[in-house]
Every structure is written in structure tokens, then in C-alpha cells.
């Protein structure tokens, strides 16, 4: 028997659940959330316990997936679970288009109409949100969120735990550092460093 446990019961969990239900990879899906026991149901499923209760399940028969969007929490929960020997499922919507030469890490959420082109590397615990396009030879590191309708040209590198806002555009061969944010609708023409906030068209550094 194969069990999928979704950690967190918010809005992102509902999206994750619907993708999981379109696959035949799991015999059962449950949700864990720290609002339990007050929260008894989420997205049509019973909430089966608090988040850390996954530790009560057999890691050889269980896969996890994160149902939260907060990047700091996503990284922390992922690292704790893998330290305890748990593996994460990558969930791919059937309407996504992934090049056969691209690579995906574990624990990724690939939403409808995503395109990942040739020789692109996607790390662990990455969200590729609805209709984003990742062109050829890109490298997207661990714990990154690429928001809906983002367009990333070829040869771009995005370092770990960075958030690319909805409908942003990144021109070819640019580098974005770790723990950074590119705001919604931005057009990035320059490299970004670590721990920076940029937005605008063209995007400029607004870090304070």
C-alpha cells in the first residue's frame, strides 16, 4: 500500500490534492495540519493529525508532499523530514509539458500548463506554478517558487529559497541569488544577489 501525506491544509494543499488525485500512484491520501483537532476536514478529506504525526507512519510505505507556500517553512519541514528518512513525492499535472532531457528533484509541484524545456534542472521541493515557462538550460535550485505565468528565458539560474512573483519575466542567462524576491510583473534585465528584493519594469533593487 502506498500512502501520500500532505503536510498543511491551506489553499496550496487543495491544489496539490487535486493533482495527486489525477494520478494512480497512491492508494490513499491524508492531510496533516497543526490546526488539528479543531480542524477536522480540509478539501473534502479528514485531517488525520498534526504535522509532526507523519513520524508515526512507516517511511518505507509513505511519501510526503508539502501543502504550504511559505518558503521558510517549506525548507524547514523538508529538511526535517528527509533527516528522518522520509521521501517526498513529485506531483506533475497531466497538462504540464516537460522535456525528456530536463531533470526534476523530489517533492516538486508541477501545475497545469507548465513548460520545462531542454536540459533544464529543477531542484528539490520546487513549486512550478500554473502556466509558467522555464526555457532551455536553466537551473532552478531547491525550495524555489516560480509563480503563475512567469517566463524565464534560456540559461537562467535561480538560487535556493527564492520567490519569483506572478507574471514576472527574466531575460536569458541571468542569475538570481538565494533567499531573494522578484516582484509580480517585473522584467529582470540584470543579475540579482542574495537576500535581495527587486521589482519593476525594468526591475531594480529595492532592498532596504
CATH number at residue 121: 2.160.10.10
What pLDDT digit, counting tens, does each position of 15-44 carry?
999 999 998 789 999 999 999 999 999 999
pLDDT-based confidence at 172, cuts 50/70/90?
very high
pLDDT of residue 208: 87
Give the pLDDT of residue 1. 55
CA distances from 147 to 34, 48, 150, 170 (A): 26, 29, 6, 13
> Assign residue 155 a region: left if phi > 0, alpha if psi is -120 to 50, beta otherwise?
left
- The CATH number assigned to the domain holding 56 equals 3.40.50.20
Residue 19 within a domain:
yes
pLDDT on residue 25:
85
CB 76 within 8 A of CB 59: no
Residue 79 and residue 109 share a domain: no
Same domain, 123 and 28: no
User: pLDDT digits over 50-100, tens only?
Assistant: 999 999 999 999 999 999 999 999 999 999 999 999 999 999 999 999 999
How many independent structural domains does the chain possess?
2
Element (H, E) at 83: helix 71-83
Evaluate whether residue 204 is within a structural domain: no
Task: With beta carbons less than 8 A apart as the criterion, state whether 3 and 25 touch.
Answer: no
Closest CA to 184 of 141, 138, 129, 136: 129
Q: Are residues 62 and 117 in the same domain?
A: no
Coil/strand/helix, residue 12: helix
The answer to whether residues 189 and 109 belong to one domain is yes
Residues 114, 102 contacting (CB under 8 angstroms): no
- The domain containing residue 185 runs over which residues? 92-199
Q: How does pLDDT run across 113-151, given as a tens digit for each residue? A: 999 999 999 999 999 999 999 999 999 999 999 999 999
Residue 180 DSSP symbol: -
Residue 207 lies in a domain: no
Smallest Cα–Cα separation from 57: which of 92, 26, 93, 90?
26
* Backbone φ/ψ region at 131: left (φ over 0), alpha (ψ -120 to 50), beta: left
Which pLDDT belongs to residue 153? 99
Q: Taking Cα atoms as reference points, which of 113, 114, 112, 86 lies closest to residue 102?
A: 114
Amino acid at each position: 500500500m502506498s500512502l501520500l501525506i500532505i503536510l498543511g491544509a491551506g489553499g496550496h494543499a487543495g491544489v496539490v490534492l487535486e493533482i495527486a488525485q489525477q494520478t494512480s500512484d497512491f492508494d490513499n491520501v491524508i492531510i496533516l495540519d497543526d490546526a488539528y483537532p479543531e480542524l477536522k476536514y480540509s478539501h473534502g478529506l479528514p485531517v488525520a493529525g498534526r504535522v509532526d504525526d507523519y513520524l508515526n507512519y512507516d517511511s518505507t510505505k509513505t511519501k510526503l508532499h508539502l501543502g504550504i507556500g511559505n518558503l521558510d517553512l517549506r525548507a524547514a519541514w523538508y529538511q526535517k523530514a528527509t533527516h528522518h528518512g522520509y521521501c517526498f513525492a513529485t506531483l506533475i499535472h497531466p497538462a504540464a509539458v516537460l522535456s525528456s532531457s530536463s531533470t526534476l528533484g523530489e517533492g516538486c509541484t508541477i501545475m497545469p500548463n507548465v513548460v520545462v524545456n531542454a536540459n533544464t534542472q529543477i531542484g528539490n521541493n520546487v513549486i512550478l506554478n500554473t502556466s509558467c515557462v522555464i526555457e532551455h538550460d536553466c537551473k532552478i535550485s531547491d525550495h524555489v517558487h516560480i509563480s503563475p505565468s512567469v517566463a524565464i528565458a534560456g540559461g537562467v539560474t535561480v538560487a535556493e529559497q527564492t520567490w519569483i512573483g506572478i507574471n514576472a519575466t527574466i531575460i536569458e542567462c541571468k542569475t538570481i541569488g538565494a533567499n531573494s524576491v522578484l516582484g509580480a510583473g517585473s522584467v529582470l534585465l540584470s543579475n540579482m544577489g542574495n537576500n535581495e528584493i527587486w521589482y519593476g519594469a525594468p526591475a531594480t533593487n529595492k532592498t532596504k
